[in-house]
A = this chain, B = another copy of it.
Amino acid sequence: MMVIMNANATKTEIDNVVQKVEEYELNPHVIIGSERVVIAASGDPREVDYRIFNVLPGVEQVITISPPYKLASREFHPNDSEISIPGLVKDPGDILIIAGPCSVESRTQLLETAQAVKEAGAHMLRGGAFKPRTSPYSFQGLGDEGLKILAEAREITGLPIITEAMAIKDIEVISEYGAVIQIGARNMQNYSLLRSAGKCQMPVLLKRGMMATIDELLLSAEYILAHGNPEVMICERGIRTFEQSTRYTADINALPVLKSKTHLPVLFDPSHSTGHWEYVLPVALAGIAAGADGLIVEVHPHPEKALSDGQQSLKPERFYDLVSQVNKMAQMMREEPVFAGSGV
């Protein structure tokens, strides 16, 4: 931590900060600059809310140095972490491809989609049973019935399933079906849910909130890790900006930033990132080029009839093309790797 004093701070004010630093059992280092004094404090950086030093008289600004997460940090865990997903069949080094509809709408719809994405080369099946919808008047998902349909699709295709938990009780229900738990963007800072996910025995896919910084995303991952679950994958899915021509703005920079900051696998969702099916292919390829370890893509056999996210869902034939191009690009990337490989 660095406490930066006002140019006009008095000696008493400076001494007061030094004393406060010592109260926290940190070591103060007083640096006298040409215009102002800075007090650096060394010691364990995660136990105090350092913004509190802003309250002391004469303090201009407080800057923290160490990243606030530790278990998620690549600095302390240089090697990629390994996530083991029961039932996953995938060559090591391949891009992990998860696909399926936004929502489970019916048995027919899901089984048709599951077969199609399996044939196209997907490794996992996604589909929402519990749906977070902006409007209370929109389709809210089939609930437990949806989970049963997902389980049937898994039996038929052999694809492991991933589905979203919106509340603590959903985690227990989902665990009966042996899936990967998804925590969605709107729940990225639902700490009650993160704690429960940290205590469960399933891998978790944590999506970045549309308004969350990369550090906040890693802190939410840290919640899960710190509560005992080491199997966390994180997913960039677009952030909210002023630009309105796409639903969100894919933060493509976040992929190499995350790969350098954390050892956890980093996935990318080109469907929500763009919100338009026309842009899903080029942006998915961009995600691979930027170093993503996997993709999660919305696919629907009849997008024009989808109960949610139809406008950003690929038809099976377009998804087939996407898998083919993604694999070619992944092959090329493997030959000249920009980053360490995926741990999935």
Measured CB to CB, the closest approach of chain B to A222, in angstroms, equals: 6
Instruction: Give the CA-CA distance A132 to B187 in the complex, in Å.
Output: 12
Measured CB to CB, the closest approach of chain B to A174, in angstroms, equals: 14
Among B66, B252, B274, point to the contact of A250 (Cβ < 8 A): B252
Measured CB to CB, the closest approach of chain B to A162, in angstroms, equals: 19
A290 — which chain B residues lie within 8 A by C-beta?
A: 282-283, 285-286
Instruction: Give the CA-CA distance A51 to B328 in the complex, in Å.
Output: 32
A13 contacts the other chain (Cβ, under 8 Å)? no
Instruction: Give the CA-CA distance A55 to B42 in the complex, in Å.
Output: 25
Measured CB to CB, the closest approach of chain B to A109, in angstroms, equals: 14
Query: Given A252-B286, A325-B336, do A6 and B75 touch, yes or no (CB 8 Å)?
Result: yes
A45 — which chain B residues lie within 8 A by C-beta?
A: 33-35
A178 contacts the other chain (Cβ, under 8 Å)? no
A227 — which chain B residues lie within 8 A by C-beta?
A: 136
Q: Is the Cβ of A246 less than 8 Å from the Cβ of B250?
A: no
A340 contacts the other chain (Cβ, under 8 Å)? no
A229 — which chain B residues lie within 8 A by C-beta?
A: none
A21 contacts the other chain (Cβ, under 8 Å)? no
Q: Is the Cβ of A241 less than 8 Å from the Cβ of B241?
A: yes
A138 contacts the other chain (Cβ, under 8 Å)? yes
Name A186's closest neighbour in chain B (CB-CB): B189
Instruction: Give the CA-CA distance A255 to B279 in the complex, in Å.
Output: 9
Instruction: Give the CA-CA distance A290 to B190 in the complex, in Å.
Output: 31
Q: Is the Cβ of B65 less than 8 Å from the Cβ of A4?
A: yes
Number of chain A residues whose Cβ lies closer than 8 Å to a Cβ of chain B? 119
A226 contacts the other chain (Cβ, under 8 Å)? yes
Query: Given A7-B76, A252-B252, A252-B283, do A52 and B166 touch, yes or no (CB 8 Å)?
Result: no
Q: Is the Cβ of B245 less than 8 Å from the Cβ of A242?
A: no
Query: Given A56-B304, A310-B52, do A190 and B191 touch, yes or no (CB 8 Å)?
Result: no
A76 — which chain B residues lie within 8 A by C-beta?
A: 7
What are the interface flags for A28-56 relative to B under an 8 Å C-beta threshold, 1 for contact and 0 otherwise?
01011111101010111111010111111
A156 contacts the other chain (Cβ, under 8 Å)? no
Residue of A140, A226, A242 with highest tally of chain B CB at under 10 A: A242
Instruction: Give the CA-CA distance A138 to B49 in the complex, in Å.
Output: 7
What are the interface flags for A149-191 relative to B under an 8 Å C-beta threshold, 1 for contact and 0 otherwise?
0000000000000000011111000000000000000110111
Among B75, B256, B273, point to the contact of A283 (Cβ < 8 A): B256
Which stretch of A82-90, A93-101, A115-123, A211-219 is in the interface? A211-219
Query: Given A239-B241, A246-B257, A338-B281, do A38 and B35 touch, yes or no (CB 8 Å)?
Result: no
Q: A47-B137, A68-B134, A136-B223 are in contact. List 13 more A-B contacts (CB 8 A).
A: A2-B65, A36-B65, A38-B40, A52-B310, A68-B135, A134-B216, A136-B222, A166-B190, A243-B254, A252-B286, A257-B279, A328-B332, A329-B329
In the A-B complex, the 8 residue pairs with the closest CB atoms: A211-B211, A33-B42, A167-B192, A54-B311, A285-B289, A286-B286, A186-B189, A286-B290
19 A-B contact pairs sorted by A residue (CB < 8 Å): A4-B65, A31-B40, A33-B45, A33-B65, A34-B44, A49-B310, A52-B306, A54-B276, A56-B304, A137-B226, A168-B168, A186-B190, A213-B242, A241-B249, A245-B254, A282-B338, A283-B290, A288-B289, A289-B289
